[in-house]
Amino acid sequence: MTTATEPEAGPSTLAPVSEHLQEPFQQHIIPVENFNDGPMFEVDNIDEKSDPGFEDGDYRSVTVSLNRTIREYRHINGRSYHNYDGAYYWAPNDDTQNDHLDMVHHMMCLAYDNQLFLAPLKNPQRVLDVGCGTGIWCLDFAEQFPGAQVIGTDISPIQPRWVSPNCKFEIDNCELEWTFAENEFDYIHISSLIGSIQDWPKLYKEILRALKPGGWFEQREFALPVRANEGALPEDCVYDEWARILYETGYLTGCTWRVTEHWKEWLREAGFTEKIHTHQVKIPIGGWPKDKIQKEIGLFNRLSIETGLEGAAIYICKMVLGWHDVEIQLFLERMRAVVKNPKIHAYFPLKSVWTQKPFTWVERQLCV
């Protein structure tokens, strides 16, 4: 199998870049990580006809007050995208994409045994979710901790309209200078922002500043490329092509897709000096695992990919890499076919990192 690698500096190896993205970007050119675990799960012998489906779920709603111009979305090939000036994000913000985000949240909850976090939180009072998406994580956290004030920020007003008293949402670009006070939050959470941040050390510095001494920061991200449960993926598998496309996009925009490989060093660079904890689970693609929970996770993952792939590919392939619409649709057909193929036992690594803002010497003495 040929391993997908991030491109070297130089012209695009895939397709021309659109004119509006040819200006210089901060670049993170990161080496490929060697990853060779053994088989993850015992495989269930299934075919497409026996592969179960899903029914739509209902989600709670929240309130948010917005400037009207934020709702004047950009439209590309029938999909809507954010209109927050200066922010880069590659996915749509329409109902189809929001369904995808909620599926991913549910899938992560299943993978982590319904734990919204891994950090050892004790009675958090002020909580921030950066890039909150539909706000579903914030709502679940606010329900679990009714005494906490939970704030979710995002560049798109895609959160529903009604909210519990201890939860609110704000439209903000986390890459700009933060307006939150120093030492404000007990816990700051990030999930699924790979490929959308140009300067992770800078963002981590803002997080460190906004955390209270002893407060916790935690992040969850999927890692590339897609792996095989047994042996290797088929030669020239489209999963490897998709990884190369995302690496190329990260090179051109300066928003790397290799966050999990460098978040430890970036956290240290930002000033986090306490122990950095990491954890990884494997998220199957499809219903091939025999284990009931893993099968459900895999089916949700398959459905979430089928739901979210087109909107991401339209922006990445068309607006960044300059592909024609026909090329994009042909690529999508190949991706849909491999995702549905029960003979390909593939998975994503889902990685978490969490660490604590250090106490000063005086604060440590008071804690003792």
pLDDT tens readout for residues 241-266: 999 999 999 999 999 999 999 999 99
- Tokens 């700009």 belong to 176
pTM for the complete prediction? 0.82
Q: How much is the average pLDDT of 154-175?
A: 91
354 and 119 Cβ atoms separated by less than 8 Å: yes
Residues 12 and 316: their CA atoms lie apart, in Å, by 13
Q: Which two tokens stand for residue 280?
A: 């990884």
For the ranges 31-35, 51-55, 236-240, 302-306, the lowest mean pLDDT is seen at 31-35
Beta pairing class for 277-285 and 227-228: unpaired
Nearest-CA neighbor of 204 among 271, 128, 262?
271
**Residue 290 clears pLDDT 90, i.e. is over it:** yes
Residues 348 and 327: their CA atoms lie apart, in Å, by 25
**Helical (H) or strand (E) element with 189:** strand 185-191
Instruction: Assign 162 a pLDDT band (cuts: 50, 70, 90).
Output: confident
Nearest-CA neighbor of 22 among 11, 37, 9, 6?
11
**Residue 79 clears pLDDT 50, i.e. is over it:** yes
Residues 334 and 237: their CA atoms lie apart, in Å, by 9
Q: What is the pLDDT of residue 32?
A: 27
Q: What is the pLDDT of residue 318?
A: 95
- Give the model confidence (pLDDT) of 31-61 as tens digits: 223 333 455 556 666 555 555 444 443 333 3
Give every CB contact of residue 68 below 8 A, 6+ residues apart in sequence: none
Query: DSSP H helical segments within 233-323, as ranges?
Result: 238-253, 259-270, 292-313
* Distance from chain centroid for Cα 259: 10
**Residue 28 clears pLDDT 50, i.e. is over it:** no
Q: What is the pLDDT of residue 58?
A: 36
Q: What is the pLDDT of residue 88?
A: 86
List C-alpha distances in Å: 134 to 102, 151, 230.
7, 13, 35
For the ranges 36-50, 187-201, 208-222, the lowest mean pLDDT is seen at 36-50
Residue, of 20 and 87, whose pLDDT is higher? 87
Residues in the chain: 368
Residues 133 and 153: their CA atoms lie apart, in Å, by 8
The percent of residues above 70 in pLDDT, for the chain, comes to: 78
Instruction: Assign 75 a pLDDT band (cuts: 50, 70, 90).
Output: confident
Q: What is the pLDDT of residue 361?
A: 57
- Give the model confidence (pLDDT) of 216-226 as tens digits: 999 999 999 99
Q: Which two tokens stand for residue 129?
A: 């979710």
325 and 77 Cβ atoms separated by less than 8 Å: yes
Residue, of 152 and 22, whose pLDDT is higher? 152
Q: What is the pLDDT of residue 166?
A: 97
Residues 267 and 253: their CA atoms lie apart, in Å, by 22
Q: How much is the average pLDDT of 325-333?
A: 97
Instruction: Assign 68 a pLDDT band (cuts: 50, 70, 90).
Output: low
SS3 content of the chain, % helix, strand, coil (to 5): 35, 20, 50
- Give the model confidence (pLDDT) of 99-123 as tens digits: 999 999 999 999 999 999 999 999 9
Q: What is the pLDDT of residue 204?
A: 98
Give the HSE-up count for residue 83: Cα atoms under 13 Å, Cβ half-sphere: 15
Helix (H, G, I), strand (E, B) or coil at 336: helix
The percent of residues above 90 in pLDDT, for the chain, comes to: 70
Nearest-CA neighbor of 123 among 87, 151, 147?
147
Nearest-CA neighbor of 44 among 270, 293, 243, 323?
293
